[in-house]
Amino acid sequence: MLPRLSLSIVLGLWLACAGAAPEEPWPQALVPESAAVAALQQYTFAPRDEQRREGVRTDALLVIRDGRVVYERYAPGSGADIPHATWSISKSVMATVLGVAFGEGLLALDERAAALYAPLRGHPEIRLQHLLQWTSGLDWQEDYEYAPLNSSVVAMLYTRGRQDMARYAAQRPASSAAGAHWRYSSGDSNLLSAILRARLGAERYRRYPWQALFEPLGINHAVWETDAAGTFVASSYAYMSARDLARLGWLMANDGQWQGRQLLPKAWVEFNRTPVPVAPWLPDEPVAGGHWWLNVNRAWPAAPPATFAALGHWGQALYVLPAQRLVVVRFADDRDGSYRHNELLKRVLAAFAQPSP
């Protein structure tokens, strides 16, 4: 179910490269081979049945510790400079872009979304905070392969809504009052993208993710596809290299600071990492924050509760472990559900977590 590469991806590549600052490579501090590193590799890059698409399939695994690369490996067809589909990690990327806009005073959490984006005028109670916390109250069915005929997200990305995805989401009926219930929704994410466009204007918006976030972080391989209306598909269609995505993780690990510059307000990062009050706490699932996922309930028991992550379909993951000064990027094509977040995190910590003094 991978999206067809379109003209907008070519445009994104041009924008990413035109006038881009020279890339600053990650410093290297590769950890020597050990039994723990071998166990990590055995799990992440194990042989699998490609014909049936069964087993864990890792395309890239990158581990950053204290701002240095301690482990990096790619499967054939992937590489350090190759953008990979991130799927719903795109949501957290958009949340980070929005954080820069909030820091610039362009948006506020308590603003009414309809005041910024006219198609939402039928839902005047929705505020930006509700969209960021997936509590808009808009009716939504986030099914993928298992119920495609009833899926709101499939309709938005591929059929009725694909020309203007945010407008499709805005036209959904309300199923609850805004802020009353949590429901994961790719539609909420694309509404945020359209709201940012409405506030910035089309021309500034087209360049804003690069100027506001990617270029300051030294990210030079990001591609972000738009829908036919020209709105970035914040739910799904950001493509990044593992090294570039790790920069976003390191920014978040340092409370929004990058090379001495407070690129994101600390209050914004705190909002991202605060559990949504009405979100469920399920034993095997992380808890929702502000467009990020939190381990406060120890859904991943091998990892500390302060661990948080950006997650995408088919096993894409960006994990941030602040106290351990670790950032982990995994790109994948898992189709059978055999991959386990906790298993990877357990092996990463065994291999790379520095012992306490």
Q: Looking at residue 354, what is its pLDDT?
A: 81
* Burial zone of 48 (CB within 10 Å; 0-12 exposed, 13-18 middle, 19+ buried): middle
25-62 pLDDT, tens digit per residue, is 899 988 889 999 999 999 999 887 777 777 789 999 99
Q: Do the domain assignments include residue 55?
A: yes
Cα separation, 128 vs 264, in Å, equals 17
Q: Do the domain assignments include residue 1?
A: no
pLDDT band, very low/low/confident/very high, at 94 (cuts 50, 70, 90): very high
Q: Do the domain assignments include residue 94?
A: yes
pLDDT band, very low/low/confident/very high, at 15 (cuts 50, 70, 90): very low
Q: Do the domain assignments include residue 357?
A: no
Number of compact structural domains in the chain: 1
For tokens 């977040």, what's the residue?
341
Q: Do the domain assignments include residue 114?
A: yes
251-278 pLDDT, tens digit per residue, is 999 999 999 999 999 999 999 999 999 9
**What value does the mean pLDDT of the chain take?**
92
DSSP annotation of 166: H
Q: Which two tokens stand for residue 113?
A: 């979304």
Q: How many other CB atoms are there within 10 angstroms of residue 298's CB atom?
A: 14
Give the range of the structural domain holding residue 141, as residue numbers without chain letter.
7-352
Q: Looking at residue 10, what is its pLDDT?
A: 43
Q: Do the domain assignments include residue 244?
A: yes
Cα separation, 153 vs 310, in Å, equals 19
- The radius of gyration of the chain's CA atoms, rounded to the nearest angstrom, is 19
Cα separation, 325 vs 67, in Å, equals 8
Q: Do the domain assignments include residue 2?
A: no
Q: Which residues pair with 93 in a beta bridge?
A: none
Q: Looking at residue 41, what is its pLDDT?
A: 95
pLDDT band, very low/low/confident/very high, at 4 (cuts 50, 70, 90): very low
Q: Indicate which CATH number applies to the domain containing 157.
A: 3.40.710.10
